[in-house]
Structure 1
Amino acid sequence: MEELKNISEEQLLKELERRKNKPKPKKKAEFSKKIFFGISIGMVTLILFTMFMVYKTQNLNPLSYILTGAFGAFTTAIGFYYHKARKENEIKISRGVNLDNDYIDMM
């Protein structure tokens, strides 16, 4: 900011506008989110495939075997993701990072 003290107001406005319009780096998705979305997409694909095969074969046995195992894995992934998110939020709250005043009032 020292270099901005000795310039004119017009130059200062141009410099501030340039800095404001500077592209911000994209945030990479967290690994846990990638796992969660991957399992979610896999679940939807598995459900659709199972529904198609049950329709084609008129056999309901795959529902009792394949889908129960898949839902077990999906439930584990959801539990892991929410537990991790809760712990991260507890750390952020304890540090006071990016908290809204409304949220602080609720505590």
Structure 2
Amino acid sequence: MSSQRANPPDGWSVADEDMQISLYWGDVGEGKLAANTVGLNAPQPVMIKSRDTGGDAYVFTSGDKVYLWNMTMGNVWQYTKPADLDGLLTEMRKPAGTNDVDMELVHQVV
């Protein structure tokens, strides 16, 4: 894991006890199922909102793209600006209101 990924932005966690990778991303995990529903294969978890900030969102990658799984609503969003993980993490570390991030809802595959 790069130092960029090992040091999540404020309000996010990479701690094993928070991420619960086998629960969310195992064969029948909700995160994996959400990703598969929109046509994404082999999702890789990156970080989860920390418990102190709600624990309701999970950033993951699939291929070279970065996504957000809204755990409450069950939908998946793709980060389009910046589109790469390092760029996203840089923007997320900026003070509130100064970051420049865009996302698009990924629609379910029928």
TM normalised by structure 2 equals 0.20
Structure 1 or 2: more strand by fraction: 2
Structure 1 or 2: more helix by fraction: 1
Which structure has the bigger radius of gyration? 1
Greater RCO, CA 8 A, separation 6+: 1
